Amino acid sequence: MVRKIVLDNNIVVNFIEIEDGEPYPNPLLPDSPGIQIGDLWDGSTFTTPAPLPPTTKEVRATRLQALVAQKVWDSVETKEVLDSILEIMGFSVEL
């Protein structure tokens, strides 16, 4: 068995183990240390793409989390509202 890299549009999408010489519908490249799903292949070199900037949702959640962490609220109800907003947005509230 050999470990191979599966590409789709020159993006690493998976790693598989197959018998050496076994046919596979997608182009396969030999596995190489440090390669991760999402890396890009330019025909000769793998590169890791730059991280995407945070989404508006993530920026807002970070700001809300900072407010909650700083305890910048005037009542228990306000804190509960902030906690609820973060939870609705899918971010954990651990304070």
Pair 7, 31 in one domain = yes
Regions of the chain where pLDDT drops below 50: 95
E strand or H helix at 79: helix 76-88
In a domain, 95, yes or no: no
Considering the domain architecture, whether residues 39 and 63 belong to the same structural domain is answered as no
pTM value > 0.85: no
15-42: pLDDT as tens digits: 888 887 777 766 677 778 889 999 999 9
Give me the domain span that covers residue 60.
56-88
Residue 8 lies in a domain: yes
Tally of domains within the chain: 2
Dihedral of alpha carbons 84, 85, 91, 95, sign: negative
In the structure encoding, which two tokens stand for residue 31, read together? Answer: 């596995």
